[in-house]
Amino acid sequence: KTNEILRTKSEAIVVAELRKCVGFAEDMVRYVKNPDNGGVGLAAPQIGVNKRIIAVSLMRDGDDENYRTIAMINPEIIEHTEETESDNEGCLSVPGEQGEVSRWKRIKVSYIDTSLRSQSMLLSGLAARIVQHEVDHLDGILFTDRVKKIENVLVGN
């Protein structure tokens, strides 16, 4: 069932459901913050929930230790640069595989936070990449669909 959900476009959270989603969104943030889980982002479809909620670590780069991890309800990329950059990505839903993916360098994302306020944020670099990767999950897209060359990191090709 989870695999099917991973390939399905997730449903937006309607106003009447927002309050009910806050605890779930906060649980997702706790999961991402837990270093034992080894992820920098999580989308609700990855845990079998067909709703538009993500938890993301807003890192400048891989060495950034002073970053926030937040939940975004109904995230939408509302602006982006034409300029892209490629980098390696992996995914908790595709264990052992990495690949080079091209993403927009800078984005503006709108979302509802866990205080139920509308927000928007300009992001660049790794934070922009993480948000784009997680929003893809909400649209049924895996990074392997966008990858230039896939590598099985377990085998080490």
Q: Do 85 and 124 form a contact (C-beta atoms < 8 A)?
A: no
DSSP letter at 58? Answer: -
Structure token digits, residue 53: 């909620």
Catalytically annotated residue among 26, 89, 100, 134: 134
Q: Do 143 and 101 form a contact (C-beta atoms < 8 A)?
A: yes
Residues linked to residue 123 through DSSP beta bridges, in sequence order: 107
Task: Mark whether 76 is an active-site residue.
Answer: no
Structure token digits, residue 102: 């091209």
- What gap in Å lies between CA 97 and CA 78, rounded to an integer? 30
Please identify every residue annotated as catalytic: 134
